[in-house]
Structure 1
Amino acid sequence: MEDVKTNYYKDNDRFYLSVDCIIFGFHKEELNLLLIKRNFNPCKGNWSLVGGFLKKDESLDQTAQRVLHELTGLNNVFMEQVGSFGAIDRDPGERVVSTAYYALINIEDYDPELATIHNAHWVKLSELPPLIFDHKQMVDKALRRLKRQVSNQSIGYNLLPKLFTLSQFQQLYEAILGKTLDKRNFRKKVADMDFLEKTDEKDKLCSKRGAFLYRFCEMDD
């Protein structure tokens, strides 16, 4: 019986499994992506998502969390699986099947020294450079999912600072959806959101009167 099992595995092709992370951040009214400028082959000198190979003692989720931590220094980050990409010739180096995850982080929280070590840079989504392999397809699919989930509390909770104005909140929506929203209609929508809480504090930088700051209600585990 053991020989049958051994032959079964030997008689089938072997290939690599990897994880690629689409890391979103929000800065100065724009959605940003954390990309690396590759200093290794294949495609040395080109832009790519950050990724890594699956280790034999890891699940896909654990690999994604490890890759994200190595690049940003962050743990317990909001992540979701986007899908798997397995075109035969997607990677010129070897046969590699990759599972993509998207992550949402507050740009102020990540470790810039780690980013420097990995030659990583924040790039505006509106100025996205050409990416290697099928990484642009991964980004597009992640963005479509993000747009569908934009009203989910966790989206803003992970991208905005602890305290924010309604203008910043609207700017985040506009950055994700890729369009301008009517201010009055958006404020009506905000009034129906039960996960936002108005504080007594004001942002005095935007005007003399200042704009009230909001925060997200505590999320349930």
Structure 2
Amino acid sequence: MTRSDNIVLALSPIDEDLKLAFTVDCVIFGYDNDDLKVLTIECNMDPFMGMISLLGDFITQDEDADSAAKRILKYCTGNEDIFLEEVKSFSKPDRHPFGRVITIAFYSLVPISLTKLTDSADKHLKWVSVDEITEMAFDHKEILDNCLYQLRKSLREKPIGFELLPKKFSLKQLQTLYEVVLGIELDKRNFRRKLRSLNILIDLEERQQEVSHRPAKLYKFDEHSFEKKSSDGLKFEI
């Protein structure tokens, strides 16, 4: 193979006009009061001044995309142990007013009731119901829609819904979460039958407290059991 046949060896120094910038944008999903929300910030950049946008930043020279996304999550919540999944890149030439900027989108999941925004981030950020968002700055609505699609797909295939709930939850709370995120109504008996067949919940032998209705039994996700069953071929399908 000659040099001209090998595109890798034939690369020449990058022309200044072809240089790109890379960012990450994080769709931080939260769940609270039977509502799926996303953490937003008000854009301060023309021509999107005042519109809501996602949380994002440029990837620095000494980090990869995952590290940049985790840095953003830590800045917002002070926590590094948060579910995070890469979705896709967005690269339309005119997507950013700064010039040629390609972004890599991630989504993460947090229970709002258990998440305290850091003091440095709290006054700038706002939880907004996903159903209320019709437009966003940049191409962030497109990014949000893609991440929501991926969340719904993954929710049926992996036990990631537990990331949005308190550690202790009722079966009704779990079913409501699935119905809200997926935007569908589930049959109660079929849903619980499926959960029993998976056998990945621990009955805590506790009941809800300080509720206006009959207190329901509380459960927690048995992550250790699921990992073992998964390695033995168990498929999580809801």
**Structure 1 length normalisation: TM-score?**
0.89
User: CA distance change for structure 1 residues 5 and 56 in 2, over 3 Å: closer, same or farther?
Assistant: farther
- Name the SS of the counterpart of 1:87 in structure 2: coil
> Which residue of 87, 100, 121 maps to 2:105?
100
User: CA distance change for structure 1 residues 182 and 7 in 2, over 3 Å: closer, same or farther?
Assistant: closer
Structure 2, unaligned runs of 5 or more: 1-8, 229-238
Correspondence for 2:50 = 45
> Which residue of 9, 23, 27 maps to 1:22?
27
Correspondence for 1:196 = 201
User: CA distance change for structure 1 residues 199 and 153 in 2, over 3 Å: closer, same or farther?
Assistant: farther
Q: Is structure 2 residue 134 aligned with structure 1 residue 140? A: no
Q: Is structure 2 residue 156 aligned with structure 1 residue 151? A: yes
Contact in 1 for aligned 2:114/2:166 (Cα 8 Å): no
Q: State the 1:169 CA deviation.
A: 0.1
Instruction: Considering Cα pairs closer than 8 Å and 6+ residues apart, tell me whether 1 or 2 has the greater RCO.
Output: 1
Q: Is structure 2 residue 90 aligned with structure 1 residue 85? A: yes
Q: State the 1:40 CA deviation.
A: 4.2
Matched residues in 2 for 1:51 and 1:100: separation? 9
Q: Is structure 2 residue 204 aligned with structure 1 residue 180? A: no
- Name the SS of the counterpart of 1:32 in structure 2: strand
Amino acid at match of 2:37: N
Q: Is structure 2 residue 199 aligned with structure 1 residue 166? A: no
Q: C-alpha offsets along residues 37-65 of structure 1, whole Å, 9 cap, x if unaligned?
A: 12344522110000000000001100110
- Name the SS of the counterpart of 1:115 in structure 2: helix
Contact in 1 for aligned 2:179/2:186 (Cα 8 Å): yes
Contact in 2 for aligned 1:17/1:54 (Cα 8 Å): yes
Structure 1, unaligned runs of 5 or more: none
Q: State the 1:153 CA deviation.
A: 5.0
Matched residues in 1 for 2:212 and 2:221: separation? 21
Matched residues in 2 for 1:156 and 1:214: separation? 14
Q: C-alpha offsets along residues 87-128 of structure 1, whole Å, 9 cap, x if unaligned?
A: 0101122211000000011213333334324x1111111111
Correspondence for 1:207 = 213
Amino acid at match of 2:121: A
Aligned length: 216
